[in-house]
Amino acid sequence: MNAQDQSPELTRIGRAFAVPEFHPWEALCIRILFAVVILQTLPLDPMDSGPFKWGSVLAPAKRIVYDAQPLPNGLAHWVDFTFISNPDLQKPLWIVSLVCLASYVAGRGLVLSLPILACIGIAARTLENSQGAISHKYQIVSLILLVQAVIVVAGASRRIFAGKPAPPPGRRPIDRLNDRLIRYSQIAIVAVYVISGCTKLIASEGEWIANSPYIGLYLVKTDRQNYYNKLDAENFGGEVPVAEQMLAHRNLSRIFMGAGLFLELFAFLALYNRFTALGIGVALVIFHQLVIQFMALTFPLNEKVLWIFLINVPFWIGAVVMLVKAKLISSPGQSAG
Amino acid sequence: MNPFVYLKNSLWAKAAFIVVSVVFFRQFPDFLEWPIILSAIVLAALALAQLLFRDYRQNTWSCVRRSFSHPVAFLIGLVLLCLATRESYPFSHFPMYGDPSPTSEYYYIGSVERPGPGGIVPLPIQTLTKVSSAKTGKMFRARRDAYCKEHSRNREDLTEEDYRAIGEGLLVFLYEKGQKLALAPLPEQWALLHVGISHSSDTGFKEETHVLATKSFSG
């Protein structure tokens, strides 16, 4: 029995899920776009005057104002995060955040800037979630930041405690780090969907698809909640035809809802190659758009990170440009002209 | 052939063992609980190493060790961590819509204008307090669970008095938030209402409302 006994197909699949190579320009585009998303999630009041006036355009997430943690969540069981509400902290927080974001975009000093950004985001949203109502709006960005911080800190610790290994030939260490940061961010994103799918199977004891037409009741619930927010009788509070249809045509509902569940469970296939990343990224964006249409539930940050890390528009623009260039060069008519 | 070596080398045998273990564990959860769980975990780790590395049969343990630093292992670890830690920011198991059932419920806040069931007028709670109606419901449920934990009670054993106490606490929180924000004049007497939603093919959707708690803030 030798090494060739192992099915090459299986190991090829294993390699496909490993860390791929990303072009330095592609990595830079991803870092710039994600830096904008991070800025939009930081608990900073937009500055309407002074040198940071442009901040009002980029940072819609406002300062969090809570002076207590009545129902602590996560780290709030041990740490009092109410300090983040302190208005005196706003200016230093702005400066630290901007320096860290600049460091992130430049790809330098990540071992400091990423943990700081992760800590600010996690502290602010943990405080918000410790008021009794848990929101998942910012969760995906905090998780990506945490994963990126763990990657850079683990890499730095390995270098310090295990001695600096000789860099493998071919690729610059900074590019290899970028490859890992992007790949593990993609993992954090798909994990969010896989977890959601697994929870559905566990909580319903495997009967989620069978019971999925009852989501119609949740559509009514969401409609009523939206009505009671502002007593908006123009858009909410009346008949909910989709909910009626879901319960009237249960098998059709099961097909549609089942497709959504399978999309969540198999979201990890996005890691296989760039085509599956594009396909699953687009499918998940469509999935979010359908949720907005039917339930008026928005997850804008989830959609943004899907566009940045899975759909990855800069890569596809570059790929199309290179393909067109290659065609033009190889075309005899063009070269004659 | 040695059955252990066969199990180590055959991916199908490992997959079959894991599936049989899960079925067995569900049927007889107390019988050989830990040996079965540990065997299934070890076999799952071996299966992952076999899937990822070509030299698995020659260097099995080296492949298992290497597989722990593979992105797929990180994905599996992150999924398990989130499922285990549940709602613990930034981790979550995303329980929303996890178990669709034939009934649902929501909560809203009203102003008591006059005595009697028809005397409560809904309040635009987000306009007054910046807390949405959905968040109001989440807050009520979180407070109810905390109350149960604090008083060592089951949710099913809570009385109307308990619900009134929990509801009043939430009304005070919302009123104080509205006062702090001062976005609009606040009414003096607030009520927390619960609405149960059910569906039958004959009557369609049915919504039943009842008052959980009222709180006066005059004086």
B122 contacts on A by Cβ (under 8 Å): 228, 231
User: Rg of chain A's alpha carbons, rounded to an integer?
Assistant: 23
Burial of B79 (0-12, 13-18, 19+ CB in 10 A): buried
- Min Cα distance B86 → chain A (Å) is 10
Interface test with B, best of A2, A6, A15, A247 (most B CBs within 10 A): A6
Q: List per-residue pLDDT tens for chain A, 337 residues long.
A: 344 455 666 677 778 888 899 999 999 999 999 999 999 898 887 665 555 555 555 655 677 888 889 889 999 999 999 998 888 888 888 899 999 999 999 999 999 999 999 999 999 999 999 988 888 999 999 999 999 999 999 988 888 887 666 666 677 888 889 999 999 999 999 999 999 999 999 999 889 999 999 999 999 999 999 999 999 988 888 888 889 889 989 999 999 999 999 999 999 999 999 999 999 999 999 999 998 888 878 899 999 999 999 999 999 999 999 999 988 888 765 544 3
In 3D space, the residue among A309, A189, A145 whose CA is nearest the CA of residue B79 turns out to be: A189
Q: What is the pTM (predicted TM-score) of this model?
A: 0.86
Using CB atoms and an 8 Å cut-off, which of residues 197-216 of chain B contact chain A?
197-199, 201, 204-205, 207
User: Rg of chain B's alpha carbons, rounded to an integer?
Assistant: 27
ipTM metric = 0.89
CA distances in angstroms from B82 to A26, A35, A98, A130, A192, listed in the order given: 30, 25, 30, 18, 9
**DSSP 8-state secondary structure symbol assigned to residue B185:** P
CB A211 within 8 A of CB B95: no
Token representation of residue B51: 């899937």
Token representation of residue B29: 């959860």
Residue type for B3, please? P
